[in-house]
Amino acid sequence: MKLSVIGSGNMGGAIVRGLVQGTVFQPDEITVIDVNEAPLKSLQAFNPAIQVALSDYSSVKAADIVLLAVKPWLVKDVLADIKFQLNYSKQILISIAAGVSIDSMNELLLKANDEIALPALFRLIPNTAIAVRQSLTLIATKNASSEQTDLLLQIFNELGSAVVIDESKMSAGTALTSCGIAYFFRYVRAATLAGVEMGFYPQEAQNLVVKTMLGAAALLDETKQNPETEIDKVTTPGGITIKGLNELEANGFSNAVIKAIKASK
């Protein structure tokens, strides 16, 4: 199976790095296209078998899947460049451009006013943990068969967890997952600084915080418990944990998180 990836920036490059560690594509079945040479060289340094092309879309014709990983404002121009090379009856087109709806891509892909058939379209929102195969990837689709949807789930479940949602929830989902990963990083940074103030070296403190976060996430993922249930297990009357939790809320922790996520929608 052949894949053409258009764009090798932070997210496009992360996806390719994750995919070459999976089982669906061999590295030499992936061609990455970009207008800049530096990120292409970086990908080949990661795995020399990855095919690269500088401003050359010719690999699109032979691809089974075309992944659009460019900035949203470039989608219109890129689709105009490649749409006449696409075989709508056989190929899958994926976009990870935030804010670009499937309907708008449909309109951009029309080859003639009377043409009805359009390609199987998937709109994806991964996060940068895809580079280590731990992304939560949101998937919305149109014009796709159940087999094509299952294929996308297979590909991106190898890179973490993939969830099919209605496109109307994509903005909210992006705030929780793609933007949300940055909020977890900010917590790690803040907690690490607290650890340093209390006597740990920065890397020591960060390691403790990250491992604690991984354990907390695994516990909730495994048990499906409400977080408050797990909080109750570690908050004893008059104990140090409840004092810390009360200090968080006194400084607006929950409200700040809610406002941040809603602001990202």
HEC secondary structure over the chain: CCEEEECCCHHHHHHHHHHCCCCCCCHHHEEEEECCHHHHHHHHHHCCCCEEEECCCHHHCCCCEEEECCCHHHHHHHHHHHHHHCCCCCCEEEECCCCCCHHHHHHHHCCCCCCCCCCEEEEEECCHHHHHCCEEEEEEEECCCHHHHHHHHHHHHCCEEEEECCHHHHHHHHHHHCCHHHHHHHHHHHHHHHHHHCCCCHHHHHHHHHHHHHHHHHHHHHHCCCHHHHHHHHCCCCCHHHHHHHHHHHCCHHHHHHHHHHHCC
Domains contained in the chain, number: 2
| pLDDT for residue 128 | 86
Range of the domain at 134: 3-166
**Claim to verify: residue 157 and residue 184 sit in the same structural domain:** no
Q: Residue 22 — pLDDT band, cuts 50, 70, 90?
A: confident
| pLDDT for residue 37 | 95
Q: What residues contact 192, with CB distance under 8 A and at least 6 apart?
A: 202, 205, 206, 209
Residue 172 domain-assigned (yes or no): no
**Claim to verify: residue 122 and residue 210 sit in the same structural domain:** no
Angle subtended at Cα 234 by Cα 231 and Cα 239, rounded to the nearest 5 degrees: 120
**Claim to verify: residue 9 and residue 108 sit in the same structural domain:** yes
CB 242 within 8 A of CB 235: yes
The span from the CA of 241 to the CA of 234, in Å, is 7
**Claim to verify: residue 142 and residue 184 sit in the same structural domain:** no
CB 7 within 8 A of CB 70: yes
**Claim to verify: residue 254 and residue 153 sit in the same structural domain:** no
- Asked whether the predicted pLDDT for residue 152 surpasses 60, the reply is yes
What is the CB neighbour count within 10 angstroms for residue 259?
A: 11
- Asked whether the predicted pLDDT for residue 133 surpasses 60, the reply is yes
| pLDDT for residue 132 | 87
Tens of pLDDT, residues 97-107: 988 999 999 88
Q: What is the mean pLDDT of residues 97-121?
A: 80
Q: Residue 112 — pLDDT band, cuts 50, 70, 90?
A: low
Residue 171 domain-assigned (yes or no): no
Tens of pLDDT, residues 188-205: 999 999 999 999 999 999
Which among 116, 132, 166 is the end of a domain? 166
Tens of pLDDT, residues 36-79: 999 999 999 999 999 999 999 999 999 999 999 999 999 999 99
Q: What is the mean pLDDT of residues 230-251?
A: 96
**Claim to verify: residue 83 and residue 159 sit in the same structural domain:** yes
Which among 166, 189, 216 is the end of a domain? 166
Residue 186 domain-assigned (yes or no): yes
Question: Which long-range contacts does 181-190 make (Cβ < 8 Å, 24+ apart)?
Answer: 181/127, 181/128, 181/129, 183/257, 183/260, 183/261, 184/213, 187/213, 188/213
| pLDDT for residue 8 | 94
**Claim to verify: residue 71 and residue 155 sit in the same structural domain:** yes
**56 CB-side CA count, 13 A:** 10
**Claim to verify: residue 41 and residue 141 sit in the same structural domain:** yes
Supply 225's token pair. 């418990």
Instruction: Return the percentage of the chain with pLDDT > 70, whole number.
Output: 97
Q: What is the mean pLDDT of residues 76-99?
A: 92
**Claim to verify: residue 45 and residue 112 sit in the same structural domain:** yes
Residue 174 domain-assigned (yes or no): no
Q: Residue 110 — pLDDT band, cuts 50, 70, 90?
A: confident
Residue 175 domain-assigned (yes or no): no
| pLDDT for residue 82 | 93
Which among 166, 198, 226 is the end of a domain? 166
End-to-end CA distance of the chain: 35
**Claim to verify: residue 156 and residue 218 sit in the same structural domain:** no
Beta strand pairing call for 120-125 and 135-142: antiparallel
**Claim to verify: residue 187 and residue 162 sit in the same structural domain:** no
CB 155 within 8 A of CB 164: no
Instruction: Tell me the CATH number at 244.
Output: 1.10.3730.10
Tens of pLDDT, residues 203-226: 999 999 999 999 999 999 999 999
Residue 229 domain-assigned (yes or no): yes
Q: What is the mean pLDDT of residues 23-29?
A: 94
Instruction: Return the percentage of the chain with pLDDT > 90, whole number.
Output: 86
Instruction: Tell me the CATH number at 43.
Output: 3.40.50.720
What is the CB neighbour count within 10 angstroms for residue 214?
A: 10
**Claim to verify: residue 117 and residue 44 sit in the same structural domain:** yes
